[in-house]
Structure 1
Amino acid sequence: MKRVLFLVLLLLNLLAFAFSRGWLGTPAPEGEPERLTNQLNPERIVLRPAETPHAEEAKPKAPEPVPSPETTQAPAPAAAPANDAKAPAAKAANGHDETCVALTGLSEAQADNLAQNLRAATAAVRATHETATAPSSWWVHIPASGGKEAAERRVAELRSLGIEDLFIMQEPGPNQYAVSLGLFKSEAKAQQHLAMLQNKRVRTAAIATRNTVVHRVEMRGSAAAVDTMSASRVVRQSGATIGECKP
């Protein structure tokens, strides 16, 4: 009897569970208050009005600004091509296609006179008097040290070694009482003489370069104008040597 009662109760519980799950039919719908209470954090729910899909497109657009006549500029006209006849002259004035000839072997007075004559003869070339310092000779000597008596002792020692071509410098200045052993027009000859003295055990001899101021006249201009003036009577009578200008 107890087993029958237990089975009946179990069956009733199963039916109640099935009914609550809706397995035996749809339960009655819950009201709005019950649904809100069953939700998590119902106070955070905010209702928003629905947006129209084409609301953004319906907004009027601001008209684009129209450029004023003052701000509209016409394109600048192209520059007119330069006259072909003036192009060679402009190049020569700017240093392009320009020829330079140097007239050397002149004294200061001769260079001044030649430059003036060339400028008076033509305006097609520019004649300028230029100067430069260049070595003119190489001096083999024993530098001054100890005054006149020391120089005389050195001369006696040199003569004992068989060296006779020498003398003591007497002019006031830094080379006074130096012993001169030779003056040469080329550095190679001076080096050769110094080597000979060193072979004779002369250890204090040295070479000093003597410079001089060189004067020249430079002619610059177009090749035709420079060639014409190079063959002119003014240049021929000056006796100058014609060569190229050095940079």
Structure 2
Amino acid sequence: MLKFFFWILLLANAVLLAYQQGYLDELVASGREPGRLQNQLNADKIRVAPVPPQASAPQASAPSVETAAMTAAVDQPAPAPSSPAQSTPAAEVVAQKADTPSCVEIGNFNAADAQRFESRLAALSLGDRVSRHGVQEVLRHMVYIPPQPDREAAERKTAELRQLGVTDFYVIQDNSDMRWAISLGVFKIEDVARAHLADLNRKGVRSARIGERTLTTKAVAFRFKGWDAAMKESVDKIRTDFPNLEMRECKVA
């Protein structure tokens, strides 16, 4: 009985060994690699594809186009805010117009100078953009020659003035302490009076002086509407022949 089990175990071991060595592959599929290759169809046509380089070792992927654009946009400095001084040409024009008065008045003229000034303005063809009107002016600084003893002495002095080329004067004939004095001009501004006195001295008038005398007179002023750079340039060329004029802003009626 023991011999029977011995031979059975021996036979089982022999079969197991034969199976492991592949001697029984034709009868039973073993699952070993050589056996599977033999069972595959067209096994001789199978080729192993080469592994791509990037698959063999992990590498950092290159940034996409979108990522590069976003990075460039982040790295690029933001544009500096525009300075208030860098105004557009249109804004500069508006600012200049806001600073320029729309109405300007030039005066004050005596009757003779007003006539000459008006005749010169006629060449500019300003039409209703210029108007003439009378103004009252308070004058306090008079350039004069002191009172003469009598009318005859005053007339001799005026004759001397004419010989020196001075024609703008009048003899004071009222009953004040200035009777028979000769007025050479009354001015609103003292500096203007001093400039006029210096001009008379250059002509040879030595006895003239400046004194205070309040006088309200009627004068003439010219008002310009729609004042702009072109008008200013044209009028300034005429004003050079009329010293001691004032230019002031006025309200459009």
Higher helix share: 2
Q: TM-score, normalised by structure 2?
A: 0.30
